[in-house]
């Protein structure tokens, strides 16, 4: 099944991120990094299911990074023990 127009638009918005993280994304969706990069360059086409997997990966990665950024940094135990 071909990707929907909304999927193509969303993937186009993420193009630079997809290229930067091609090996991680490709591994997560089960294709080679070369195949993924080729898709972003207009070589070949991905399916609707593959587009969904890419977008889901990007959403999860965005959430993970946001959570990591908002979590307070914990000091190592030796710093806590000697700070008082």
Whole-Å CA distances, 52 to 3, 47, 61, 82: 9, 9, 14, 50
* Domain encompassing residue 40: 5-82
Please check whether residue 57 is in contact with residue 65, taking contact to mean a CB–CB distance below 8 angstroms.
no
Q: pLDDT tens for residues 58-83?
A: 888 888 888 888 876 665 555 444 44
55: CB partners within 8 A, 6+ apart: 7, 10, 11, 14
Question: In 3D, which of 27, 5, 25 has the Cα closest to residue 17?
Answer: 25
What is the predicted pLDDT for the residue at 81?
45
Tally of structural domains, the chain: 1
Report how far residue 64's alpha carbon sits from residue 72's, in angstroms, rounded to the nearest whole number. Answer: 14
- Residue-wise pLDDT for 7-64, tens only, equals 888 888 888 888 888 999 999 889 999 999 998 888 988 888 998 999 998 888 888 8
């Amino acid at each position: 099944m071909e990707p929907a127009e909304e999927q193509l638009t969303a993937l186009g918005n993420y193009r630079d991120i997809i290229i930067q993280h091609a090996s991680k994304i490709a591994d997560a969706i089960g294709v080679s990094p070369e195949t993924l990069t080729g898709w972003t360059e207009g070589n070949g086409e991905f399916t609707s299911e593959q587009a969904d997997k890419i977008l889901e990966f990007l959403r999860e990665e965005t959430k993970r990074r946001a959570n990591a950024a908002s979590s307070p940094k914990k000091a190592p135990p030796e710093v806590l023990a000697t700070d008082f």
